Homo-oligomer: A and B are copies of this chain.
Amino acid sequence: MNLSHPLSGATLARFRGLLDPALRDAVSVLDPWGERMAAFALGWSDTDGGPHGGVGGGFGGVGGGADRATGGGTTDRGAGSGTNGISRGDGGKGVRPALALLSAEAVGAPAESALPGAVAVELVHAFSLAHDDIIDRDELRRHRAALWKAYGVGPALLTGDALLALAVSQLAGRPEAMPYLSAALIELVQGQSADMAFENRPWKGPGEVGIDEYAEMAAGKTGSLLGAAAAAGVALGGAPELADPMWAMGRDLGVAFQIVDDMLGIWGDPRVTGKPIYSDLRHEKKTLPVLAALADGGSAARELSALLAAGTTDEESVRHAAHLVEEAGGREKSQALADRYVETALSVIDEHLPSATELRTLCNSLVHRVN
């Protein structure tokens, strides 16, 4: 299985042909200045407004058309901070619209029927990256300057608002899908807020972050938009009765995705993930492998706890901390938890949409990836 492009070439080309013009149409209502910033936020252009090498309209870093296909999927590997949900690299790029379109096809509708939902979730994703980079002061995104770094905080903030407004307008007249997008917006904000709040909480002792809290944060920050994509897809495809289970499916899938993202931050190949090794550990982020290791209570966990309490700033302690996380079972437990969430998610598809093989493949690929 091709992990970077779990969809077949034909499906990918078909979806790209739908999504690209629809996204461009959506942002065309902005003034030229706003449109240029939106194009940059969506990865279509550089700061000068010229096309960004080899990056298409959202599917896996593949060029938007044959004339721009040079560069393939290689120039857009993520330099995300890991704080933004599905943002690390190609593994997540374009997955939300694909999930919406495949969900419509899974209920027997043409992919086109879910296009407003696909456009909406991609716009919300771009909105959340634009704002998260301001909040987290991340200067890099996908090996380029973050939007705020390229255009300033005020314009980047406003562009994020514009992307969100355009997303809402896609589904404003579709009450069968809009409530899921709306719920995802609230959960996104709540998840980001929880993630920020975690930073000020201790590793161990009173106020420590529990694994349940982590899962709730990840379901909001990473899962809710996947849930909205899947729910909007089936609802717009004519099966609103499946929207609730698909919403739950997407949220569970998102938790698994976030756990895998956390794991790749420690045990992934930085040349493949595009993210500096151990950067979450260095920034003392409350990732699942560390939380799971600390919960173990054995001698490695106690040593890890003491190391983290002292601060893991130098390279040697960061490397040692990563070693202790694995020794205390953090890797094993994280994988087990990710597997459990994926199983729960896939069981929804197996129960309600047993013949949706492409949808199942896409979901599966999100958690069996290397970047």
Tell me if A34 and B193 are in contact (CB < 8 A): yes
Tell me if A131 and B161 are in contact (CB < 8 A): yes
Asked if A196 lies at the interface with its beta carbon under 8 angstroms from chain B, I say yes
Q: Could you mark each residue 339-362 of chain A with 1 if its beta carbon is under 8 Å from any beta carbon of chain B, else 0?
A: 000000000000000000000000
- Which single residue of chain B is at the shortest CB-CB distance from A134? B157
Q: Could you mark each residue 135-154 of chain A with 1 if its beta carbon is under 8 Å from any beta carbon of chain B, else 0?
A: 11000000000000000011
Tell me if B172 and A182 are in contact (CB < 8 A): yes
CB contact list, A160-200 vs B, under 8 A:
161-162, 164-166, 168-169, 172-175, 178-179, 181-183, 185-186, 188-190, 192-194, 196-197
- Count the A residues whose beta carbon is within 8 Å of the partner chain — how many? 40
Residues of B within 8 A of A155 (CB): 196
How would you classify the secondary structure of chain A's contact residues: helix, strand, loop or mixed? helix
Asked if A337 lies at the interface with its beta carbon under 8 angstroms from chain B, I say no
CB contact list, A42-68 vs B, under 8 A:
none
Tell me if A173 and B172 are in contact (CB < 8 A): no
Tell me if A178 and B173 are in contact (CB < 8 A): yes
Tell me if B197 and A33 are in contact (CB < 8 A): yes
Tell me if B31 and A197 are in contact (CB < 8 A): yes
Q: Which residues of A does B touch, CB under 8 Å? A: 29-31, 33-34, 131, 134-136, 153-155, 157-158, 161-162, 164-166, 168-169, 172-175, 178-179, 181-183, 185-186, 188-190, 192-194, 196-197
Q: What are 18 A-B residue pairs whose CB atoms fall within 8 Å in the complex?
A: A30-B190, A30-B193, A31-B190, A31-B194, A131-B158, A134-B153, A134-B157, A153-B153, A161-B185, A162-B190, A164-B164, A164-B185, A165-B182, A165-B186, A166-B186, A168-B168, A169-B183, A173-B178
